[in-house]
Amino acid sequence: TLTQTIRDTQVFDLINKEKSRQESGIELIASENFVSPQVMQAMGSVLTNKYAEGLPSKRYYGGCEVVDEVEQLAIDRAKELFKASWVNVQPHSGAQANASVFLAALQAGDTILGFDLSHGGHLTHGSPVNFSGKLYRPTFYGVDKESGLINWDKVAETAKKEKPKMIICGASAYSRDWDYQRLRQIADEVGAILLADVSHPAGLIAKGLLNDPLEHCHIVTTTTHKTLRGPRGGMIMLRHDFENPFGVKNPKGNLRLMSELLDSGVFPGTQGGPLEHVIAAKAVAYGEALSEEFYNYAVQVQKNAKVMAQAFLDKGYSIISGGTDNHLMLIDLRSKGLTGKLAQETLDKVHITANKNAVPFDDKSPFVTSGIRFGTAAVTTRGMQEADMKRIVDYIDSVLMNHDNEAHITATKKEITEWMKQFPLYA
């Protein structure tokens, strides 16, 4: 029987090894977090066995009565969390959520206007190596060289010139809040749909700590595993449903509602069966995110990021845009004579995990880069506070300034491993 199967020690030994790696290090990758044991338990459940193409109570398979309840719970909790009137919790990832929206709202060859990848945008917002840049005509806006900030007047200018069918806002490495109201005005002026991809700050948005994209943007997508602290996955949301402006009609001859188009953009458009075990984990995570405790967590994430940014500035590091409003910051290492690659590799040696990142107007290749990105979502989950951020920055600065001093690196690694025992992760 299944339970008598010989334990696969090869795989489970590796999982234990990864657990130790996560526990002993300082996790500063801005897109990562640590989920609760309940979220993991839901993901590792029997729900993985079930096929459920379709939507709750409209399935193509039998035996869906329980997963219908699970998925409906995820939908209802997500709606409450983001004050949405409609959501689809099925996208397997953030990239798939975006692919579903593009398929639903656009025709191949349509012009899109997104935030430049090399300024902090995401691959799925029009990069030539991604479906979004291959199937559509991508155009971009970026940040001003001096301020590191997005200049909304310039976005408006580019929109008027390029006449996109869709404007995409949201980023992977932009530390400031977004003016969704202004972007909606720009979108309305050129007749574009406005999509916000809030994958990174979703947890802070859910708790009202940043501007609300659902108030102004036609469509909002997110990943569920960053500041939202859920399982790896994606989601699409609307506050107000609307008739699609580009003429797609339903069988009765009426313009189809965007919610209908988005549902079919997910399935059958870009996915087959939904991952009901992951959807259950999303429901658990949304339940957690609805709590007062999660509000305190999100507040602390933002406080920690501010303190960390200030600590870097105090040590003479240069931060793109001069600081942060959210959970992350992008550091330009050129003033310190370092590359992103060297910084990432040096920090890895002391169990500080981060990712090298291009900075706007970078003169180095994406494999080297001049920047490094740090985020506070994961360390805050471990219970770290403001004083701990300063200590982390002290460690980072001391190893980067002594990157060729092996003795210093070994001693620092030992100290960090010892320190992290004070922040237990999983029992």
What's the closest the beta carbon of residue 213 comes to ligand PLP, in angstroms?
12
Q: What is the number of other CB atoms lying within 10 angstroms of the CB of residue 170? A: 29
Instruction: Choose between 234 and 360: whose C-beta lies nearer to ligand PLP.
Output: 234
Cα gap 112→162, rounded to integer Å: 9
Minimal CB distance residue for ligand PLP:
94
The answer to whether the CB of 360 falls within 8 A of the CB of 148 is: yes
What's the closest the beta carbon of residue 201 comes to ligand PLP, in angstroms?
9
Q: What are the two backbone dihedrals, phi and then psi, of residue 401, each rounded to the nearest 5 degrees?
A: -75, -15
Q: Which of 50, 232, 364, 390 is catalytic?
A: 232
390: annotated active-site residue: no
Longest dimension (CA), the chain: 74
Instruction: Choose between 283 and 400: whose C-beta lies nearer to ligand PLP.
Output: 283
What's the closest the beta carbon of residue 255 comes to ligand PLP, in angstroms?
28
Structure tokens at 89: 């919790």
Q: Strands, DSSP E only, in 98-249?
A: 111-115, 137-141, 166-169, 193-197, 219-223, 234-238
Sequence-distant (≥ 6) Cβ neighbours of residue 398 within 8 angstroms = 408, 412
Instruction: Choose between 223 and 304: whose C-beta lies nearer to ligand PLP.
Output: 223
367 is in an annotated binding site: yes
The answer to whether the CB of 144 falls within 8 A of the CB of 151 is: yes
51: annotated active-site residue: yes
Burial zone of 249 (CB within 10 Å; 0-12 exposed, 13-18 middle, 19+ buried)? exposed
What's the closest the beta carbon of residue 119 comes to ligand PLP, in angstroms?
13
345: annotated active-site residue: no
Instruction: Choose between 90 and 412: whose C-beta lies nearer to ligand PLP.
Output: 90
What's the closest the beta carbon of residue 366 comes to ligand PLP, in angstroms?
15
Alpha helix (H) residue ranges in 249-291: 258-264, 276-289
- Strands 234-238 and 219-223, by their bridges, are antiparallel
* 3-state class (DSSP) for residue 22: helix
Instruction: Choose between 22 and 132: whose C-beta lies nearer to ligand PLP.
Output: 132
Cα gap 407→398, rounded to integer Å: 12
Instruction: Choose between 25 and 231: whose C-beta lies nearer to ligand PLP.
Output: 231
Q: What is the number of other CB atoms lying within 10 angstroms of the CB of residue 181? A: 14
Sequence-distant (≥ 6) Cβ neighbours of residue 314 within 8 angstroms = none
Q: What is the number of other CB atoms lying within 10 angstroms of the CB of residue 263? A: 21
122 is in an annotated binding site: yes
366 is in an annotated binding site: yes
Q: Which of 79, 176, 226, 229 is catalytic?
A: 226
What's the closest the beta carbon of residue 226 comes to ligand PLP, in angstroms?
7
Q: Which residues bind ligand PLP (CB under 6 A)?
A: 31, 93-95, 122, 124, 170-172, 197, 199-200, 223, 234
What's the closest the beta carbon of residue 97 comes to ligand PLP, in angstroms?
7
Instruction: Choose between 33 and 124: whose C-beta lies nearer to ligand PLP.
Output: 124
53: annotated active-site residue: yes
Cα gap 302→309, rounded to integer Å: 11
365 is in an annotated binding site: yes
Alpha-carbon distances of 180 from 3, 344, 358, 379, rounded to whole Å: 53, 33, 25, 29
Q: Which of 27, 71, 116, 197 is catalytic?
A: 197
Q: Which of 32, 50, 51, 390 is catalytic?
A: 51
223: annotated active-site residue: yes
111: annotated active-site residue: no
As a dihedral over the C-alpha atoms of residue 283, residue 288, residue 292, residue 298, rounded to 10 degrees, the angle is -110
Residues with a known catalytic role:
51, 53, 197, 223, 226, 232
Known binding positions: 117, 121-123, 365-367
Known binding positions for (6S)-5,6,7,8-tetrahydrofolate: 117, 121-123, 365-367
